[in-house]
Structure 1
Amino acid sequence: MKVNDSSQEQKWVRTKVVAEDHVIIPKIELENANADAFLESYVSDLTTIPLDTSKPLWEVHLLDLKTSDAQNVVVLKINHSVGDGMSLMSLVHACTRKTSNHEELPSLPNENRLSSKSMAGYSRLIWMVMLVWNTLCDALKFIATTMFLKDTDTPIKGDFRLSKSKRMCLVHRTVDLEDIKFIKNAMKMTVNDVLLGVAQAALSEYLERRYEVQDLANMMAKGSKCKWGNWIGYMLFPLSLALHDDPLEHLRRVKSIIHRKKNSLEALLTFTSTKILIKMLGVVRAASLTSRTISNTTMSFSNLVGPTEEVSLYGHPITYIAPSAYGHPHALTMHFQSYMNKMTISLTVDPTAICDPHQLCDDLEESLRSIKAAVQERNATQ
């Protein structure tokens, strides 16, 4: 756990963990209440209750609650200082076993990373020049974002100054992973590219309900091998919020930007610079600078890979995994988590900025359907 030493600097110290202090089993009396609504309310209420700093910063909530997705629910509440998304999900995976064989750990998809030598159309020298140039441009933009450059104001941006005291709303929706893979293969993209395209299309549809279409256009014209702990690098991604007759245009734009971002060391650079700032300025000042950067952007996006087969937690088969995060200055955070043949979309929203998160979930589903239909139509005419 973390404590303050004599100089008031925080440091990690070993402590004895008493499991009973971290496991919470609430008494649930639903009567005629909706179980799904109760779960959303319960998890959202947790965002207003800080973790007890006198003990390790994690809790396990066991809910004897039958929802539309599962027979029971386990809620893990873990402070981000314990680890980043990859390491925490690796911890969850390590606690599970294959349902088909309780002695085996979960299987994760293999990663096929392309080396610089296999990049079509690039010589190694040109690739190195592009890498340096893209990294320099991204670094300058990141510095500008920290100092003064802000995203265009939209209804989903929220007021970061009030984020710590706000009750955040957490919702999720599960879609078919095979639909995403179908689009990925047809468009020669990655799953992450498809998800970004779907998110961009859905946000465009969602914001169109709050702005006239032309006003929105004018507004935008203006403006586990993973290591344990927090190994976080940031990538600033410009979403183009606009309505297109061809939904595949969202994918093309995303693919173009991602292609350039992959030839940049932006994530590594931001991770390294954060580590240097922590050593030079201390955790508090470094966190303040990071918060300033985040507050000048609109939303967070994360995509995590999960087991390809059904896994069980102490003999209980898991039906879905829905990670999320709160406490940072964003009114909207999107997490995508794959598991078996499903993809769960988790949204953490500020209800004062996004009062209808289920509508945004509907838009995400509809955007995926429309993009899939457009791909099928394109394939049929080729």
Structure 2
Amino acid sequence: MECGGKKMVLKPIRISKKLNDDDDEEEAILLSPGSRMFHEPNYNIHIVAIMGWKIPLDINSLKAQILSKLLKHPRFSSLQVMDESGEMRWVPTTVNIDDHVIVPQLDISNNSNMDTDKLVEQYISNLSTTTIDISKPLWDIHILNVKTSHAEATSIFRFHHSLGDGIALMSLLLSCFRKTSDPTSLPTLPVSSKNKSNSKNIRSLIWQYIVKLWLLIRLLFNTVVDVLLFIATALFLKDSQSPFTVAKGFNKNHSTGQRFIYRTVSLDDIKFIKNATNATINDVILGITQAALSRYINRKYGN
């Protein structure tokens, strides 16, 4: 939170362990260790997700959908508060949807498509430098009904990481949508089915067991090597210096020059690489990201 040009860290709200003085009242649920970890001073992380739309968004319809679907999840309608003993708990609250769905007024009257692209990019970058007020559930949605080269409208979802991990949030997002072919059905993910032959001779079974044993040995060997390298790095080895090396005493609130750069890639191309390399989509995306980052570092700091 910013006040007078200075950033102010808000402390968690304190409550008693019970929701009221009634001894029969059920205690507020404790945050899991994973959720609590994301509130540590040096590990306060938010998730920012960007979604483009083919048509401008109807704000009232969007709010109605959020009220009927998203707020059914208790974590999106609960505060994270600290009790007398210092433990953080989920406490249900009444959600004011207008505090969470934000529609900024952007001046785009004299801008071209390229300018609106930069405008949206700048808005997202600025959004990543602020935090969510802890006096309300830790999520918000920003709607930019401006046309860019990628979409007719852009929505930015911002969640505090204590609400859940990527898989949980993606599952929740999918549950808010329906199939175009059947508006009453939830979307489904395709599952590849492999035909398994029941007629296997002894030689093929033995060969499969040998391959599995070899893979297990490789897994154990690589695990031991990784553990030894981790211990050696913690004791005496040093990480190689790079532009991403964090200096001692680094101020995590310093975000000058921070930008979000995104590119559109074809899912068909990713699937082609996935099938050619017999890998997963996550492997392909991670490889693309790592290769792009490596090329950028070598080009900019190669000398």
TM-score category, normalised to shorter length: 0.5 to 0.7
C-alpha distance in structure 1 between counterparts of 2:90 and 2:233, whole Å: 31
Change (3 A) 1:148 1:100: farther
Query: Whose radius of gyration is greater, 1 or 2?
Result: 2
**Partner Cα separation in structure 2 for residue 194 and residue 17 of structure 1:** 40
- Quote how far apart the aligned CAs of 1:123 are: 5.0
Shift of 1:50: 1.3
Matches within 5 A, 1:7-22: 7-22=85-100
44-53 vs 98-107, which moves further = 98-107
* Alignment partner, residue 155 of structure 1: 243
Unaligned runs of 5+ in 1: 216-382
What's the TM-score, normalizing by structure 2? 0.59
Structure 2 spans left out of the alignment, 5+ residues: 1-78, 195-204
Going from structure 1 to structure 2, the CA distance change for 1:156 and 1:111 (only over 3 Å counts) comes to farther
Aligned length: 210
Question: Could you tell me the percent identity over the aligned residues?
Answer: 43
User: Equivalent residues in 2 for 1:1-382 (5 A)?
Assistant: 1-33=79-111, 34-110=115-191, 122-142=210-230, 150-157=238-245, 159=247, 161-167=250-256, 168-212=258-302
Change in CA separation of 1:17 and 1:48 when aligned onto 2, cut-off 3 Å: same
Report the secondary structure of 2:297's partner residue. helix
Alignment partners' CA distance in 2, 1:68 and 1:146 = 47
Q: How far apart are residue 174 of structure 1 and its match?
A: 1.0
Q: 1:97 to 1:120 in 2, by over 3 A?
A: same
Of Structure 1 and Structure 2, which has the larger fraction of its residues in helix? 1
Greater displacement, 150-159 / 48-57:
150-159
Root-mean-square deviation (CA), in Å? 3.0
Q: How many Å separate the matches in 2 of 1:67 and 1:159?
A: 38
The structural deviation recorded for 1:192 is: 3.1
Superimposed CA distance per residue, residues 164-194 of structure 1 (whole angstroms, 9 cap, x where no aligned partner): 3315322211111212222232333333333
Q: Classify the secondary structure of the residue corresponding to 1:108.
A: coil
Residues in 1 aligned to 2:110 and 2:246: alpha-carbon distance in whole angstroms: 34
Residues 196-225 of structure 1 show CA distances to partners (whole Å, capped at 9, x for unaligned) of 33334323321222244xx5xxxxxxxxxx
CA distance in structure 2 between the partners assigned to 1:46 and 1:191 by the alignment: 29
14-23 or 45-54, larger mean C-alpha shift: 14-23
Does the C-alpha gap of structure 1 residues 140 and 57 become closer, same or farther in structure 2, counting only changes over 3 Å?
farther
Could you say which residue in structure 1 is the equivalent of 2:38?
A: none
Q: 1:78 to 1:211 in 2, by over 3 A?
A: closer
CA–CA separation in structure 2 for the residues paired with 1:54 and 1:74 = 23
Could you tell me how far apart the structure 1 residues matched to 2:180 and 2:206 are? 38
* Separation (CA, whole Å) in 1 of partners of 2:106 and 2:209: 60
Structure with larger RCO (C-alpha < 8 A, sep 6+): 1
CA distance in 2, matches of 1:141, 1:119: 33
Amino acid at match of 1:12: W
